[in-house]
Structure 1
Amino acid sequence: MWGILGLIGGLAILTILVMRGMNLLIAAPLSALIVGVFNGLPLFSQLAVGKQTDFVTSYMDGFSGFVTSWYLMFLTGAIFGKVMEDSGAAESVSHWIIKKIGMKRAVLAIVLACGVLTYGGVSLFVVAFAVYPMAVNLFKESDFPRRFIPATLALGSTTFTMTSAGSPEIQNWIPIPYLHTSPYAGWGVSLVTALFMLIAGYLWLMHMIKKAKRKGEYFISRENDEVESRKGLPNPFLSIIPLLIVLIVAFVLHDVLEQSALIIALTSGVIATWILNRSYFRDFWKAVGNGTEGALIALGNTSAVVGFGSVAQVTPAFKSAIDYVTSLPGSPLITGAFAVMVIAGLTGSSSGGQSIALPILGPHYLDMGVNADALHRTVSMSSGTLDSLPHGGYAVTTIRSIAGESHKDAYPAFGAMTVIIPLLAVIIAVTLFMIGF
């Protein structure tokens, strides 16, 4: 009883602390300590008896293990995003897409610009920063309420591109070592759900914007909006080549190197960006440095959450909870999706949700004979649902730091695009897999 209360209480406290803005590197170990104390774990290894696992060892094994497995992928991904940003290549691609689609479809242009950059391997956060200034200009010209900008950016970044087959984003690659699959697992179903998220999300978002307009809402300018785009951008066709190189290299090497192929693919993207756009860089090595710092922060936050999960995993309460989830009636795809999305929601991290659940659920479901490709796609998509609750890292950064909006104004549309639409897509995916699509 006390163990279950400790597990639930630790998860609740982690959620509350994150929503209140506490750093995950502090909030996660504090919450994990509560889980450990209520479950009777000794604090240090010196206090453990026999083979008993202690709190510090459990937490640091999870933390360091995630760093060991994913550091180079986080690093190369963050650097690639930053050099694309610093050279103006990301902005050039975005401008070209927006120009071709036109002002009448401003929201669709922003969504597709984010989608192309995200599917090309640019970090979600970098995409939001890069496209936001153009989104402000387009919303101003269209007189759309600016509180819908975060939802527009998120629809193009965290839905049909982040967890789809072939995506270089880490959410699509984490299942590979656990399920022995490829980043193209379940590509047929993924194509259907990606189209659903794009079309349904766009139509719903436009409905909300038009409804707000009918109620008298309009675009309100701010002093810091008068930020002009950089002049002398590189050629958009040359700028998109590094994105294609990332996708091609990952495709060619994924059978041989599995998730390690992403390291070479992203490194190739960095090199290609420098070769093709080197005369446009403001400061190449500063961009590399900024990317490195960003990678360490993102990796540290995710590892902190994984450390929390590692402590939870060694408790009797967690084992009871997993036994309950895995014994639920119905398809293992449903229970697997449920487990991943709940953990991702409580931690505010899609990658954290997968990293905690897959080491336990993966072998169990594979032993049951579950189709690995179907499980890969379902788990990947599920991680991109409840991770975008109000306390999620991307939600907080995009709404507050980038767009300067309040959760009260911006989150209803943001949550609709990043939680409800992906949830419906997961239901569609599971249904299609179950009928043998």
Structure 2
Amino acid sequence: MLSLIGLIGGLLLLIVLTIRGMNLFIAAPLCALLVTITSGLPVFIGEHNFIETYMQGFSAFIAAWFFMFLLGSLFGKFMEDTGAADALSHWIINKLGRKQAVLAVVLACAVLTYGGVSVFVVAFSVYPMAVSLFKDANLPRRFIPATLAFGSVTFTMTSAGSPEIQNWIPIKYLGTSPFAGWEVSLGVAIFMASFGFWWIRRMLNKAVANGECFEVRDHDPKIKTRDYPHPFTGILPLLVVLILSFILHTHLQQMALIVALGGGVLCLMLINRNYFNNLQHAITAGTTGALIAIGNTAAVVGFGSIAKSTTAFQSAVEVMTHIPGNELIGAAIAISVIAGLTGSASGGQVIALPLIAPHYVDQGVDPEELHRIVAISSGALDSLPHNGYVVTTIRAICHETHQRAYWPLGALTVVVPLCGVTVAIAIFSFV
């Protein structure tokens, strides 16, 4: 009982500290230490002590996914520095019209995310344009994080064919491809996109009706006037990433994403070599951004590794993997809860899949169906306030507070994916 109280208390404390703005590199180990003590695990000396267990989870995640984060960050930073991302976003906006501010931002994020740009980098790249569009439309700026997140981490991040790691982690454990269950995935993505867009428009209209409007701030980014490349130079590298990942995934599995992102980076450097504003700065910023992004995620994965070692967690997994009835429902619940505990879709998958994949495959569950359910459900409860992407987007990028900006973001990135995975399970079960 004390272990369960400590596990729940540690998670709640992590959420509270995150909402209050504490750095995840401090908050996550501190809360993990609380879980360790209440579960009776050794702290400094002994087998599977706190230091070893936390750092094993932290370092293992970095070792497994460092090159994906690095190349994804460099790809996004090169898209930004050459002006390719802005050119592509401007093209989308010009086609839609500036009055369609929300739709323009969502589509810009969706195209970049599905093209392989790290969701962290997408937010950095599109934010300046989002500010300009929201200002022109006089929309409350506290909805900018929700708009960025909706276009990045819902209907694109976990869909079939997505180069994002949340769609690639299950391959290692299920022997599937990134296009697993693509027919159902397409329908679910359309549902989530439509439902989420309707919801954010409804929230915005209500806020505007209550008198909310755009607030100008001194630190608002200024979009520089420059010679932009043709929008096609932003589309071609995205196509390179998608095509290479499709061709190579059968032979290289997860390594195909490294090759695909590397190809995208080289393509960008070749076709936009004359448009680099500052190549050295882009490389430095890209590598630094990758380290921050993977570090924030790994810090929470370390917390998850401690949680995984407790008797309360093992009991919870045992209960969740033996939920009677539809196996896909059990898998969705297990992945969602564990991703919520770790505060990371990718981290939750890394922890949960070694435990649940063999269990459900042995029961005869179709690996492709399981892959898609795991991917979509991992992108729901992971977006609790302590999630690394949520913290970075709200605080570091948009300069907002959780109190102002989290609730619309949480609605779109928690509730919408939960509805999406429900639809996916229904289709897989009855078709």
TM over 0.5: yes
Q: Does 1:173 align with 2:168?
A: yes
TM-fit CA distance, 1:231: 1.1
CA–CA distance in structure 1, aligned partners of residues 327 and 122 of structure 2: 35
Closer/same/farther in 2, CA of residues 26 and 219 from structure 1, 3 Å limit: closer
1:202-221 pair list within 5 angstroms: 202-221=197-216
Matched, 1:277 2:272: yes
Q: Partner residue of 2:103? A: 108
Q: 1:401 corresponds to which residue?
A: 396
* Deviation larger for 265-274 or 106-115: 106-115
Q: CA deviation at 1:219?
A: 2.6
Q: Does 1:27 align with 2:27?
A: yes
CA distance in 2, matches of 1:419, 1:312: 22
Deviations 1:123-159 (A, max 9, x none): 2122122212222222222222222222222221111
TM-score normalised per structure 2: 0.94
What is the aligned partner in structure 2 of residue 348 from structure 1? 343
For the 8 Å contact 2:80–2:86, the answer to whether it is kept is yes
For residues 293-351 of structure 1, give each alpha carbon's deviation from its aligned partner in whole angstroms, at most 9, with x where no partner exists.
22222222222322333333333332222111112222222222122222322332221
Q: Name the amino acid aligned to 1:153.
A: L
Asked if 1:373 corresponds to 2:368, the answer is: yes
Matched, 1:413 2:402: no
Deviations 1:189-223 (A, max 9, x none): 11011111111111222222223333333333333
Equivalences for 1:54-133 in 2 at 5 Å?
54-133=49-128
Q: 1:277 to 1:38 in 2, by over 3 A?
A: same
Q: 1:316 to 1:139 in 2, by over 3 A?
A: closer
| Aligned Cα root-mean-square deviation (Å) | 2.0
Q: For residue 184 of structure 1, report the CA deviation from its aligned partner.
A: 0.7
My pick for the range that moved more, 357-366 or 340-349, is: 340-349
Distance of aligned partners of 1:57 and 1:92 in 2 relative to their CA distance in 1, 3 Å threshold: same
Q: Quick check: 1:228 aligned with 2:223?
A: yes
CA-to-partner distance for each residue in 1:372-413, whole Å, 9 max, x for gaps? Answer: 111111111111112222332222322233223333333332
1:186 pairs with 2:181: yes
Report the equivalent of 2:322. Answer: 327
Residue of structure 2 in register with 1:246 after alignment: 241
Counterpart pick for 2:232 among 234, 237, 252 = 237
1:222 alignment partner AA: R
Residues 64 and 137 (structure 1 numbering): CA distance in 2 closer, same or farther, change over 3 Å? closer
Question: Quick one: structure 1 residues 233 and 317, their matched pair in 2 at CA, closer, same or farther if it must change by over 3 Å?
Answer: same
| Alpha-carbon spacing, 1:140–1:429, altered in 2? closer, same or farther (3 Å) | same
Distance 1:411 1:59, change over 3 A: closer
Partner of 2:17: 17
Conserved? CA contact 1:239–1:276, under 8 Å? no
Residue 15 of structure 1 contacts residue 347 of structure 1 at CA under 8 Å; is this kept in 2?
Answer: no
Matched letter for residue 42 of structure 1: P
Give, as a single letter, the amino acid of the residue that structure 1 aligns with 2:70: L
Q: Tell me by how many angstroms 1:226 deviates.
A: 6.8
Report the number of matched residues: 431
Kept in 1: contact 2:120–2:293 (CA 8 A): no
**Contact 1:14/1:347 (<8 A) preserved:** no
Equivalent residue in structure 2 for 1:262, among 254, 257, 261: 257
Q: 1:209 to 1:309 in 2, by over 3 A?
A: closer
Shift of 1:258: 0.6
One-letter identity of the residue aligned with 1:151: A
